[in-house]
Amino acid sequence: ASFLLLCFRSPLATPLIFGLLLQAPPTQLSTITQPNFVLLLADDLGIGDVGCYGNDTIRTPNIDRLAKEGVKLTQHIAAAPLCTPSRAAFLTGRYPLRSGMDAVNDYRVIFWNAGSGGLPPNETTFAKILQQQGYSTGLIGKWHQGVNCESRNDHCHHPLKHGFDYFYGMPFTLISDCQPTETPEMDRAFRRKLWLSTQTIGLITLTAVLGRLTGLISVQWKTLTCLAGFSLLFFVSWFSSYGFVRYWNCIMMRNHGITEQPMVTDRTTALILRESISFIERNKHRPFLLFLSFLHSHTPLLTTEKFLGRSKHGLYGDNVEEMDWMVGQVLDAIDKEGLKDTTLVYFASDHGGWLERQEGKRQLGGWNGIYKGGKAMGGWEGGIRVPGIFRWPGVFPAGTVIDEPTSLMDIYPTVVQLAGGAVPQDRVIDGRDLLPLLRGTVAHSGHEFLFHYCGVHLHAARWHQRDTGAVWKAHYVTPIFSPPGAGACYDRGFCPCFGEGVTHHEPPLLFELSQDPSEAKPLSADTEPLFDTVIRRIGRAIEEHRRTLTPVPEQLSVSNVVWKPWLQPCCGTFPFCWCDKEDDN
């Protein structure tokens, strides 16, 4: 003690103390324990829709600011080209077929709130691990991972069963059916067939009745009664679900309770933003995880009047610019609470833009820049290469661009490790911890190979040959574009994963993405000396990968995705489901 007293009385003490105080704070990661996490995930946003990825007509200053202040990933890959499987992979760090969240059929996403499929209860999300580490965990916005299993209120797939303390948003996904003024979107082609079948059966029944009345045909009234009954039952069997999509799927929930059924779309954006900022304010004194899962920029492109007509890309551009403004509001809330230096912010999209989404001459889907293909295409880059931005001041070097293969699945081990948790050891985790790459302590990502699925069908695989820097990609299956050469499946609305709508390649199509990111010039044994070597090496990697797969229940089987009235979330007495508790408040 006497020594310390003498030191402070020394004439050198004052300048020494001031010098220490004025030193820049160290950027050692060990000085920050349990950072906050704000994960921002856009819906259907194309990589070419963002300013910092090359778009010079849609204004995204806030997303661009994140990239300027942090790290931009240029080869950030979704594990699936559609919402449900991609988000399952994001939440679990695992390829979606490991949890049964990818499809063997054409039903590749969850179709109803009243389906029984969803993210299995035995899957461990990053939210669940952070919850165990003392984090306050919140999900605001879109879920699309299922709700119930066996009864209306078991909530076995609900966010609160998967590690989130608080949920406000849509258990389903935004669709055009949620907007009364828009053309119905859900299962549009199948609905047309049902209507046609109903009209055909009805016409047959009416013709038979008229023929009986006029004596032109001889048929018993009992037979006609049965035919009429069948017509009515057929109509009721499908119209009870598809006729009320807005009431069954377009609902808003707070935790387990329904707040709007159907949702009032005019105020949805404001409520989601309010809930997000409120969550930050409520939890500023403890470590928190906020997963803001935007409804933007999925159709019907809900956009407030303030942003309508502002962009050069019609309603879609307006919607993206509004989402960017929402990002800015969330960043401002973080700054206002003094949390900027202790908060890791991440921005991405769940998959590529939807090229085929059009109404007349209006383009309602996104743009994927120089990359071929889009949403629903498991192999082509446009369906799976997405924006990926990290910001953590003082830890991640600002203005950094990384062109290494990374995945949305990497968020899982990255946030778990930073929160002080442990990655589960009883299952395969396909994600890799990004922290060394983001901090610049290693040159390469942890991914040597990435596998690209369309449903459960492997369409492509990439090999990052680290010693040369080459990124090889082999396509085993590709969709057949319609009309030919159009770059998408405009005649279908979605590109299929199997059947007559795809082409199988033997030998595979091979591209070197670092030289040909647009996948425009397939290589061959004649043009690439390493062709056979590369194909063999990727083939061995696929065999090794397949040996790690184990059979699991199919969550997206037909029996799991169909509408089951006894599972329908309802804020009244079924089937009279209607409420607006936000208006009451």
Cα dist. 321→108, 132, 306, 317 in Å? Answer: 29, 36, 11, 6
Among residues 300, 298, 313, which one has the least CA distance to residue 183? 300
One of 7, 52, 76, 83 is an active-site residue; which one?
83
Q: How many H helices and E strands in the chain?
A: 16, 18
Question: In this structure, how many other beta carbons lie within 10 angstroms of the beta carbon of residue 539?
Answer: 14
Contact 167, 255 (CB under 8 A): yes
Annotation says 83 is catalytic: yes
Closest CA to 76 of 45, 36, 38: 45
Say how far apart CA 8 and CA 258 lie, in whole Å.
Answer: 64
For 470-497, letters b (16+ CB in 10 Å) and e give ebbbbbbbbbebeeeeeebbeebebbbb
The answer to whether residues 372 and 509 touch, using CB atoms and an 8 Å cutoff, is no
7, 52, 76, 144: the active-site residue: 144
Tell me the CA end-to-end span of the chain in Å, nearest whole number.
62
Residue 157 falls in the annotated catalytic set? no
**Which of 27-31's residues contact partners 24+ apart within 8 Å by CB, and which partners?**
27/394, 27/395, 29/395, 29/435, 29/439
Query: 176 Cβ partners below 8 Å, 6+ apart?
Result: 182, 183, 184, 185, 186, 299, 300
| Calpha distance 173→40 (Å, rounded) | 16
Active site residues: 83, 144
